Amino acid sequence: MFVPAAAAMVAITAGSARLSAQCFRDADTPPSCLRPSPTDKPAAVVDNAQHLHVFVKGTDNALWHRVRAGADATSPWGAWESLAGTLLSGPSASVRPDNTIDVFVRGASNHLAHRWLTGSAWSAWEDLGGNIDSDPTSVSWGANRVDVFARNAVDKSLGHNFWPTSTGRWSGWESLGGVLAGGPAAASWAPNRLDVFMAGGGSYMYTKAWLGTAWSEYAQVGCCIVGTPTAYASAGNSLYVSALGTDNRLFGQSYSNGGWSGWQFELSPWHAASSPALAYNSQRHTPELIAMIPGGILMRLAADAAGTWGFWQPLMSGQYLSNIAVTSNTDYATAMNGCPAGYSPTGQDLNEGAGGDYIFLCLQWGSDRFHAIYNLGIQVAGTDHDVRCPANYEVLNANDLNKGAGGASLYLCYSRDPHTGSALSNIGFRAATGFAQFVPAILGEDQLACTIGDNVRYGAAKAQQSNLNLKTTKGKYIIACMIRATN
């Protein structure tokens, strides 16, 4: 339950920013310079030219920026640039109607620090004072209007600052009460309308809205989240919020026609290391969700205009699936946290609903295309329990993907032979309680189609049998989909 807090944020004099050292040695391989921390979320925004801007905190604690010059995933990326500063949190970014991009961070001495991009020129850092201890969030609901929110470091209330006032200056911090368990997220679907989301007591998510003349009371809209959520608004008074669940898997829920959908897994669930960022293309009406996974890899998940999410893929070019392992245990948390160092669990239990062990694939990425994985297959063990993978394939650790579920003994075969396909960038999953819930396109006798949200079609893992819960008496119908690199 939220408790009103009357104390306003404390204004502190401006501090100095330091020039960052160059830490991104290679424009296409930034993971060594990122901090894979749940409190250091990335930020992303789409400008009026449909360019995607990504901002991250580097290992030098500076702000780093990179631009994708187009709306499509295959559009070229520019080089990383340092915007200096001393960051104590992840950044937040928003775009004004005139295409000015504003970036906010928690800087030295817990001040809010601000830079903005007009055309091709960045401003110097501006100190907006305050005493905050969370990631900030920002949104613009009209020409020359920017609202910023963050958590007060003293009483954990929601702090608010906006620009401009009648004098053309920032308003200064005001307290909107509440007791926040993490940073806030803000969105606006119309001029003079604001919706703010945050984690509160008991890991419940709360919302508070500016209704044009007054703030609403806090309202509870679901459980259970950790860290800082992210949100966007679209035409028709619609909202979408994404957040990390208490098991570090990403969930999302939407608001339309006066009601919330309830929390749902992002399609092809993922185990993330950071709270997510959302970038919304208002011209295409398509969102992109961006999160960091263990190992410091930035991943993207795109949806089409109908809101159908696709599969996770590495955000940057030059990242290929290089190794796969399996983790399994009768205890969920032990299985989820059982991947080798440098690997990331996919989040899809391959025995979901069927009983037996919790089983997850663990994935690792690299920049060497020549040592990437090019193809997958699901093989049923013979009566003699031998696993016979096709030529040029290897069996994955001889781990039964149906262990303990009482079904057929299934094994993953993989190939590094480039003649068997194109290099993979990820493995996605489709899970449903029955075959009828899948996309009905058939690419072959035993191969289902995998259609992702941004209208790119990939083949599912070619196998003797596609269902990863084959011959179990219960459980979901699960298929694995190979996501191929586009570069």
Most confident of 69-73, 103-107, 258-262: 103-107
Q: The tokens of 111 are what? A: 């001040």
Which pLDDT value is given to residue 156? 97
pLDDT band at 268 (very low <50, low <70, confident <90, very high): low
* 41, two tokens: 């979320």
Please determine, for residue 477, whether its predicted confidence score (pLDDT) is greater than 70: yes
| Cis omega (within 30 of 0) for bond into 164 | yes
Q: Locate CATH 2.120.10.70 in the chain.
A: 31-314
Mean pLDDT of 295-300: 80
Predicted pLDDT at 441: 33
Domain with CATH 2.100.10.50 in the chain: 320-484
Rounded Cα–Cα distance for residues 293 and 298 (Å): 7
**pLDDT over threshold 70, residue 295:** no
Question: What integer pLDDT is reported at residue 24 of this predicted model?
Answer: 37
- Residue keyed to tokens 């290897």: 394
Using the structure block, give the residue that is written with the tokens 């899809």.
348
Q: Which of 187-201, 242-256, 263-277, 463-477 has the highest mean pLDDT?
A: 187-201
Q: What is the pLDDT of residue 43?
A: 95
Architecture of the domain whose range is 31-314: 6 Propeller (2.120)
- Cα distances from 136 to residues 38, 356, 401, in angstroms, run 14, 43, 42
Q: What are phi and psi of 39, to 5 degrees?
A: -90, -10
Q: What is the pLDDT of residue 198?
A: 96
Query: Among 31-45, 113-127, 134-148, 264-278, which is the least confidently predicted range?
Result: 31-45
| Predicted pLDDT at 141 | 93
Q: What is the CATH number of domain 320-484?
A: 2.100.10.50
Contact 268, 311 (CB under 8 A): yes
